[in-house]
Structure 1
Amino acid sequence: MEKISQKVSALSEIIPYYFISLFFSCITLSLFLILYSGELDWLRLLPFIIYSVFAAILYVLFAMPLQIILNKHPSKFSVLFLLFYILLSFVGVYLFCMVLNTQPIEFVKTKYYYVISVAAAVFYWFWDSVFLQKSFY
């Protein structure tokens, strides 16, 4: 029984770090997307929030489950972890395009698809390494 309470205690200590990592990843990706698009007049609060919400949905559905699995064997700035995030990001961005009905096959043929996918993975991996890749257990 004591081991369970220790695991619950350790889990309650780590949960805020997941949300901090998610928050900074969303903010960074949103800023990047606005700057990359070249539409600097979009650098206002509402577009920033919209991008952040979409990023949060994708990160929670795809990156966070992988992050939880990878945190069982923490490793800061692991290239292998980055590759996992990139692969999953390609899938997540493609599926998101399917949900939005934006002709994902055509989108995959653009440079923008690859830039978004890799940037989303790199930002999440970076903030994950900064806040979560340490031994909590």
Structure 2
Amino acid sequence: MQVLRIIFVHVLSALSAAVVYVFGIDYDGYIPYFFISVILFIFYVIFAAPVQYFVNRNPKRFNPKYLLIYIFFSFLVWLFFAVITDPKNTLDFLMEYEVYLFSISFAVIFWIWDSVFLQNEKKAATK
């Protein structure tokens, strides 16, 4: 049951983040939305799941400290991909507001879904 909740959090986070991303880049269309959702789901599973496991060892709903942890790691992932894709223009990439908008919004989205679905079950299980 816990694994299904984790997958559900990742799916909802990917769908929500894809909406933010599509509106952020100002593009219309359903096909890119589907591909962006799939890519974001893979990124959430690869990069957010270990952080989520670490944070959920001591569950607290809507803890601001957890939000800061998610924002930090989200920014690291964006920075990692900026360096990998174009190392010469990393500083230009860091000067764009989209990097901060997407890293913070993707972390907030994940933090909200994590707090709603996973922190709730852990809290109920300890009572």
Q: What interval of TM-score do these two structures reach, taking the shorter chain for normalisation?
A: 0.7 to 0.9
Partner secondary structure for residue 75 of structure 1: coil
% identical aligned pairs? 29
* Structure 2 residue 60 is matched with structure 1 residue 71: no
Aligned to 2:7: 19
Q: Which runs of 5+ in 2 are unaligned?
A: none
Within 1, Cα distance between the matches of 2:40 and 2:91?
A: 21
Residues 1-137 of structure 1: pairs in structure 2 closer than 5 A = 13-39=1-27, 41=28, 43-44=29-30, 46-101=31-86, 103-134=89-120, 135=122, 136=125
Q: Quick one: which amino acid aligns to residue 120 of structure 1?
A: F
- State the Cα distance separating 1:36 from its structure 2 match: 1.8
Number of aligned residues: 122
Can you list the C-alpha shifts for 1:24-78, whole angstroms capped at 9, x where unaligned?
A: 0000000111112222x2x31x201221122123212221111111111111111
1:109 shift after superposition: 1.1
Query: Which structure: greater helix fraction?
Result: 2
Larger radius of gyration: 1
Q: For the residues of structure 2 that align with 1:122 and 1:106, how far apart are their CA atoms?
A: 24
Question: What is the root-mean-square deviation in Å for CA atoms of aligned residues?
Answer: 1.6
| Cα deviation code 1:87-136 (max 9, x no counterpart) | 00000111122333373332111101100100110000011011101315
Q: Which amino acid aligns with 1:126?
A: I
How far the C-alpha of 1:86 sits from its partner, in A, is 0.2
CA distance in 2, matches of 1:115, 1:67: 21
Partner SS for 2:72: helix
- In 1, Cα distance between equivalents of 2:8 and 2:41: 12
Give the whole-Å Cα distance in 2 for the aligned partners of 1:91 and 1:48: 24
Distance in 1 between the 2:38 and 2:79 partners?
17
